[in-house]
Amino acid sequence: MMEMSENGLWCCDDIAAFIRDNCIYTPDTPMFGKGPGTRYKSQFYLANLTTNSEMMQSVLTVLDELMAINEIDISAHQFAGRTWSALPILGAISHHYQFRGVNTFIVRRERKNYGMNNIFEGKPNEKPVILVDDLCNSTNAFQHCHDTITAHSIPVHPKIFCILNKKNATDTMFKWDRFSFQESMHCVSRDQVV
């Protein structure tokens, strides 16, 4: 059930509970992180959620609500994200909004070096793009998509959508968050799941 939390963020209890129970890996010893010298005590694996049809229906319900709250006309936009984490979300969005003419496409990490040499999979159009991903962390994926899409003269909406925003509701911008000027619309924040 979706409700307004005390801090004003929208939350979805079933999504938060599913992430807590199925998408957090905590090994006996800390894991090495992506950044040099970093170690993690736990790691989110949201593929367990994005491959679950019931949970993705909950995500789409939250997306519908967030689009309405933010007065964003779904039919006037398209959605894109970077391979691979955004792919199931984009597939769900494409199916969910199939009768509203909503376009989705994938932004590759790098241009293919064979065939048609695509940087995009799918066909972007001229409508503004809402970027999506499973989680908002360092936002490197969002930054990459933003830069690649705008380089092709396609506008990008000032809000992004993710399932999990790894910032706590009370956090300020992370110093390594290069995409912090973009506002996140999300189902849950970190403090709702850990």
Taking 60 as the threshold, does the pLDDT of residue 140 lie above it?
yes
pLDDT at residue 31, rounded to an integer? 86
> Does the pLDDT value for residue 9 go beyond 60?
no
Does residue 78 or residue 135 have the better pLDDT?
78
Instruction: Give the pLDDT confidence of 43-91 residue by residue, as tens digits.
Output: 899 999 999 999 999 999 999 999 999 999 999 999 999 988 999 999 9
More confident residue, 124 or 189: 124
Q: Which residues contact 44 (CB under 8 A, 6 or more apart)?
A: 19, 23, 24, 25, 135, 164, 166
Distance CA 102, CA 25 (A): 35
26-49 mean pLDDT:
87
What structural domains does the chain harbor?
2-192 (3.40.50.2020)
